[in-house]
Amino acid sequence: MPKNAMIKINPKEYKKDDLVRVDTVIMHPMETGLVKDKESGKYIAAEHITSVEVFYGDEKITWMEVSGSVSANPFISFYIKATKSAPLKIVWKDNKGDVTEKVVDIKV
Partner 1 sequence: MLKNRKVLFCLFAAGSLIVSSKVISAEDAGQAISEEDLKLYQSGINPGEVFAQEVGGALFNKPMGTSNKSCASCHSEEKLKKVVGTYPKYEPKVNAVISLQQRIQMCQKLNQGVEKPFELKSQENTALLTYLKYIASGEKVNVDTSSNPVVKDYYNYGKYVFELKRGKRNLACSSCHENAAGFVLRMQRLAPLGFEYNGIKGTTAAAHWPGYRMTQSRVVTIEQRFQQCMSQAGMKVLPLGSKEMVALELYVTSLANGATIEAPGLVR
Site for partner 1, rule CB under 8 A: 4-6, 8, 10, 23-27, 29, 71-73, 75, 77
Using the minimum distance from each CB to partner 1, give the nearer residue, 55 or 74. Answer: 74
Using the minimum distance from each CB to partner 1, give the nearer residue, 25 or 86. Answer: 25
Using the minimum distance from each CB to partner 1, give the nearer residue, 21 or 81. Answer: 21
Using the minimum distance from each CB to partner 1, give the nearer residue, 5 or 46. Answer: 5
Residue at 101: amino acid letter? E
Nearest to 28 by CA among 56, 65, 2, 58: 2
Closest approach, Cβ 9 to partner 1, in A, equals: 11
CA distance 57 to 64: 18
Is residue 93 within 8 Å of 66, Cβ to Cβ? no
**Burial, 95: exposed, middle or buried (Cβ in 10 Å; 0-12, 13-18, 19+)?**
middle
Closest approach, Cβ 63 to partner 1, in A, equals: 20
Residue 71: strand, helix, or coil: coil
Closest approach, Cβ 100 to partner 1, in A, equals: 11
